[in-house]
Amino acid sequence: MRKFWHTFKQNLFVKNPKPHYSVLGTVFAVYFYGESLAPSLIPRNTLNQVLLSALTIMIFYVIGERLGAAWRRHAKYTAPAFTRRTYIAYVALLLIYAVTVTVQRMNWQTQQRHAMGLETTTPNVAVVLILSIVSIVVISMIVSCIKRLYRMLVRVYARRLRWLSKVLAVGSILFGFAVFMACVFIATRSILRSNTIALDLNVTLSESDLVSGSENSAVDWLLLSSPGRDFVGEVLTAEAISERTGQPAIEPIRLYVGKLNADTIDGQVELLMQEMERTGAFERSTIVLYTPSGSGYVNPSAVAAAEVILDGDVASVAVQYGLVSSFVQYVDDADIAKHTTALTLEAIQQKRQSMAQPPQLFLYGESLGSLGSQGSLPSFEPSEFSSSIDGALWVGSPSASGLWKHLLPQAAGDILEPVYQNGEVVRFASDVDHFGSDYDQWGEEKFAFLYNPTDPVVWVTPRLLYDKPDWLEDENAQGVYEHMRWRPFITFGQVGFELTRSINMPSGFGHNYDNEVGPAWAYVLGQPDDVQLFQQQ
């Protein structure tokens, strides 16, 4: 072991010869750096843009460097060495291109911000350019260090396992990277869990006894987690609903069981059923089962909208399955959202089946909650699931959502306004007003998919790496920015980076649906006249 460590240090810290930068690698890096600046679904801030550009530079420098190395090994023609003048011209051309393309595409992003009604806080041109140029040098040094580490490991392993040396060297580097990323993921998950559990002193328990966590509730208020306390702490009163609608109203029911309120999912579901019996939830005209996002968040605009439309005669219920963001939860365990919702749905259905006049049952899911809600269905055939459920509103469905993936390819028309079986049971809309088209032809059971054309959660998929998506076939499609073009690898990276801030867009753009869920609920709940209650003044 001591001999191995001595050889390791000796090879790792050997003096490096004069650094060599690949000409083709640098050209690739600078060109695709420019491509990474192009607008896509939503504008990017300075941090996201620099990170995206740095990653692009790293990947395409390596690709160009490897192609150049392959050329030198196999081509009969050898390019002449750079003279001083040639080198100066080469660097000048790259700098001119980098500056020009940065200014042009930052202006495009400014135009995009204007179109979305955002403040013109476009990423600073100088900051993006300087940091990206610095990243070229830094990343080149990182690549050089990795190559040196690889050669060192090959020499170390070759002493005893010559034929396996290169494989073991690559494996060692990949294993080290995997361990590092696993540590980052675990740390991130731990931090997010702590933030979700933390008590917000600004949120107080509702005085109503028709909510979880109240004095007579079996659900512990402190264990509800922050999203759960928000869910039951912001209940509309009957007076507030009547003031909004001009109609008599009753106190709505809101029930939420947090992940920490029981040791198992079965325990959570049992606790929810106890709460529903305690509050008389099954005596209401309607029950809405909300599937939260990864952290347990339920859009308050959606819950309040249903309560207003139904004059408070509704029980809104939810069971938490995670304590971290949707992205982290999806990577960690996406199936738990489906499993939790399925068990909850099954318990509610069993109770309804025992009743002579059961309440109507609707589903709601947004983001990862939409994926979980769809995954809880017993079948992906509308004729089957519509027989036991009265309707559903699925908002901002991830591209991996089961029902979305099953029905969308069967729909006719444009990808931004697909029509499935004449809209008799299931409807898709990127504009909420389209739910009202030929409304009389929409059956008693109404299932709706609402999505923004600029929502990266809806469109991001591994196919973006190598295949132009249907939603970009029409370059002038509504909601898709005119300068956006599909580029292999680049578009996937752009849309992927935009996931982190898509919720911060104005309603109707990105992953923000606050102003759209009200009208959408009015259509799904069979009250199209109530759309006016949610129109912007």
pLDDT digits (tens, 9 = 90+) for 383-405: 888 888 999 999 999 999 999 99
Q: Do 223 and 130 have their domain in common?
A: no
pLDDT above 50 for 275: yes
Q: What token pair was written down for 343?
A: 């068990």
Q: Are residues 168 and 315 in the same domain?
A: no
Residue 8 sits in the same domain as residue 62: yes
pLDDT over 70 percentage in the chain: 79
Give the whole-angstrom CA distance, residue 510 versus residue 524: 22
Dihedral over alpha carbons 266, 271, 273, 276 (to 10 degrees): -160
Return the higher-pLDDT residue of 203 and 461: 461
DSSP string, 236-256: PPHHHHHHHHSS-----EEEE
User: Looking at residue 339, what is its pLDDT?
Assistant: 95
Within a domain: residue 508?
Answer: no
113, 222: one domain: no
Q: How far apart (Å, rounded) are the C-alpha atoms in residues 15 and 44?
A: 41
- Return the HEC string of 253-276: EEEEECHHHCCCHHHHHHHHHHHH
Q: What is the pLDDT of residues 130-179, one digit of tens each?
A: 776 676 667 667 767 777 776 776 666 666 555 555 565 556 556 655 66
Same domain, 355 and 337: yes
Residue 469 placed within a domain: no
Specify the pLDDT at position 139: 65
- Looking at every residue in the chain, the average pLDDT score rounds to 82
Assess if residue 118 is contained within a domain: yes
pLDDT per residue as tens digits for the range 109-134: 888 888 888 876 656 666 776 776 67
The answer as to whether 494 is a domain residue is no
- Same-domain status, 216 and 164: no
Domain count, the chain: 2
Specify the pLDDT at position 240: 94
Convert the pLDDT of each residue in 217-243 to its tens digit: 999 888 888 888 889 987 899 999 999
Q: What pLDDT is recorded for position 86?
A: 78
pLDDT band at 483 (very low <50, low <70, confident <90, very high): confident
Q: Quick one: pLDDT at residue 175?
A: 61
Task: Record the tokens describing residue 121, joined without a space.
Answer: 């806080």
Q: How many CB atoms lie within 10 A of CB 431?
A: 16
Are 183 and 329 members of one domain? Answer: no
State which of 140, 160, 194 marks the end of a domain.
194
Q: At 191, is the secondary structure helix, strand, or coil?
A: helix
Model confidence band, residue 251 (pLDDT cutoffs 50, 70, 90): very high
**58 or 184, higher pLDDT:** 58
Q: Let me know whether 215 and 188 are in one domain.
A: no
CB 436 within 8 A of CB 429: no
Tell me: do 165 and 215 sit in the same domain.
Answer: no
Q: Between residues 202 and 40, which one has the greater pLDDT?
A: 40
Ranked by mean pLDDT, the top range of 31-35, 151-155, 289-293 is 289-293
- Stretch 448-465: mean pLDDT, rounded? 92
Mean predicted confidence (pLDDT) in 312-325? 91
Residues 107 and 61 in one domain: yes
Domain end (from 178, 194, 210): 194
Question: How much is the average pLDDT of 364-392?
Answer: 92
Residue 309 in domain? yes
Extract the tokens encoding 200.
Answer: 């917000």
Q: What's the token pair of residue 206?
A: 């509702």
Lowest mean pLDDT among 89-103, 298-312, 422-436: 89-103
Residues 137 and 235 in one domain: no
Q: What are phi and psi of 418, to 5 degrees?
A: -70, 150
End-to-end CA distance of the chain: 75
Q: How confident is the model at residue 318 (pLDDT cuts 50, 70, 90)?
A: very high
How does DSSP assign 327-338, residue by residue? HHHHHHHSHHHH
In this structure, is residue 108 part of a structural domain? yes
Domain presence at residue 404: yes
Q: Taking the CA atoms of 204, 210, 216 and 217 in sequence, report the sign of the dihedral they define.
A: negative
Instruction: CATH number of the domain at 524, please.
Output: 3.40.50
- Domain membership flag for residue 472: no
- Residue in this structure with the two tokens 């609608």, named with its chain if needed: 245
Over 70: is that where the pLDDT of 98 sits?
yes
Residue scoring higher pLDDT (472 or 195): 472
Residues 6+ apart with CB under 8 A from 292: 227, 298, 318, 319, 320, 321, 322, 369
**How many angstroms separate the CA atoms of 527 and 270, rounded?**
33
- pLDDT for 186: 55
CA-based nearest residue to 465, from 447, 483, 486, 480: 486
Q: For residue 123, what is the DSSP state?
A: P
User: 7-16, 48-57, 196-205, 505-514 — which one is most confidently predicted on average?
Assistant: 505-514
Give pLDDT, residue 480: 66
Last-in-domain residue among 175, 194, 213: 194
Whole-number pLDDT of residue 20: 60
pLDDT for the residue numbered 478? 53
Indicate if 165 and 314 belong to the same structural domain.
Answer: no
Q: 260 or 201: which carries more pLDDT confidence?
A: 260
Boundaries of domain holding 177: 2-194
